[in-house]
Chain A
Amino acid sequence: MESMRRTELRQLRAEPRPAEDTDRKPDLAGLMSRVARGDHRAFELLYGELAGPVYGVVRQVLRDPAQSEEVAQEVLLEIWRTASRFDPAKGSPAAWALTIAHRRAVDRVRSETASSRREEKAALDPGSVDDDVAEVVAATLDRQRVRRCLDGLTELQRESIKLAYYGGYSYPQVAQLLDVALGTVKTRIRDGLIRMRDCLEVEW
């Protein structure tokens, strides 16, 4: 994402791209504005960029492959439908897409009366939440970096963030799972995320 952001900036400045970036992905913001104008070809390219991350996030939260596929489809269609509402001043296209994906997945979890299926699968051991799906090789570098930064957090920060984001739990549920006070969880999630942001050198 960081490099995407850099790419966007560079294009705004109309500078030539350096060689290191020539094999880089198409510019997402540019694709977004084409998609907003109803360009199906651009949407195909955008699908190529975003379907993996969207499906990955949804699957991480929902676990169930069939349900994840259904929700990922809704999310990707939502991206098509609402592309004109995307505002680059408010964040990167990937963050926008993944915010939609994560929220949809979480809404699904919380609205589900019979969420027992998921709960059986995601046993309350926080460590099991993130490790049992096969990830694609392309994400390896990202994954390593995220893991390294997660390792730099305190245990409470790390577990709070993983349960909230990867587990899709609300912070009161996180507090209950970790057996700590509500206020503590709120604070740990925030300061943990701030540390992650700085460790990952996120630009925004």
Chain B
Amino acid sequence: MVKAMRDDSHVLSGAYALDALSEPERDSFERHLQHCPLCTDEVRGLRETAARLGLAKTLDPPPQLRSRVLAAAYRTRQLPPVGDRIGLDRRRTRARKPFAVRPGHAQHGRQGRLLGRPLVPRLAGALAAAAVVVVATLGISQSLTRHQPGGAPAASAAISRVVTAPDARTETERTSAGGTVTVVVSADRQAAVVSAAGMRSLPAAQTYQLWVMGPHGSARSAGLLSGTGRAGPVLASGVEPGDQIGITVEPAGGTSSPTTAPVIAVPV
């Protein structure tokens, strides 16, 4: 059920960034990366750090190298771009297909798959209550935007602080919308970092929304996650023991309280 991420894999990010893994370990870590956007993000930061170590060793190359390299380039055919962008377009096209969930209607089909998981009844109660106790604070979350123009590196720093907190605990779980969600929680920092990969892509009229759900039925929005099903890392702050981190499908733009059953809920 809950597939906790092996701590072992996560801790290899540093050695991976420094090319200090054996080939089999490198391959297996790269497979792990495909399902762990959070680790991918960490590796990216550590790679940039390694590059700084490298830049500090800049040396004048032998002068003859230049003409040899430039001449070789004239004789060398370049590789075509990979189909990554085409893939993205395809995914978007698929996302346009109508999707059976309307705001306000729980997704019974998907919910069915959640049955049998002990946290579901608790959560359903929490969500029903949430409709009454509206404590939504849309917009206080800091979704990570540093890859966009005008992005805030501050969010990235806050995320790093959670992920690298000494008491940070990582859990990766499958969602009923497919794919996996990884949650890193630090009680010390009272925050969680959430990322998702491979969840079903949503039509333009819908979005995934992240919630911090209290034990007594309150639910506070921690921001919107991309409807592509791949999102984050996103910071959810003000998280306390006993809370659950949940994701629901909501109308585009988000709602002030959850209107559908969560596709996943992870106890903190």
Decide: A56 and B59 in contact? CB cutoff 8 A. Answer: yes
Decide: B56 and A143 in contact? CB cutoff 8 A. Answer: yes
List of A residues within 8 angstroms of B74 by Cβ: 40
Q: Contacts A92-B48, A94-B55, A165-B53; is A43 near B20 (CB within 8 Å)?
A: no
Contact with A along B219-263 (1 / 0, CB 8 A): 000000000000000000000000000000000000000000000
A44 and B72 alpha carbons, distance in the complex (Å):
12
A56 CB to closest chain B CB, in angstroms? 4
Contact partner of A172 (CB less than 8 A), chosen from B22, B58, B62, B68, is B22
Task: Say yes or no for B82: interface residue by CB 8 A criterion.
Answer: yes
A194 and B46 alpha carbons, distance in the complex (Å):
7
- Which A residues between 29 and 73 are near B, CB-CB below 8 angstroms? 36, 38, 40, 43-44, 47, 51-57, 59-60, 65, 69, 72-73
Q: Which residue of B lies closest to A8 (CB)?
A: B149
Task: Say yes or no for A82: interface residue by CB 8 A criterion.
Answer: yes
Decide: B78 and A203 in contact? CB cutoff 8 A. Answer: no
The contact size tier of chain B is: 35 or more
Task: Say yes or no for B189: interface residue by CB 8 A criterion.
Answer: no
Task: Say yes or no for B153: interface residue by CB 8 A criterion.
Answer: yes
B interface list, Cβ under 8 A from A: 11-15, 17-22, 41, 44-62, 65-66, 68-70, 72-74, 76-82, 84, 146-147, 149-151, 153, 156, 160, 164
A-B contact pairs, 20 of them (CB 8 A): A47-B69, A52-B61, A56-B59, A77-B73, A80-B76, A84-B82, A94-B51, A98-B50, A103-B19, A164-B15, A170-B22, A171-B20, A191-B164, A193-B46, A194-B160, A197-B46, A200-B52, A204-B41, A204-B47, A204-B48
Known interface pairs A90-B44, A196-B52; 15 further A-B residue pairs with C-beta atoms within 8 A, sorted by A's residue number: A38-B78, A47-B70, A51-B65, A55-B65, A77-B69, A82-B78, A85-B82, A89-B147, A98-B54, A168-B19, A186-B14, A196-B49, A197-B49, A202-B45, A204-B41
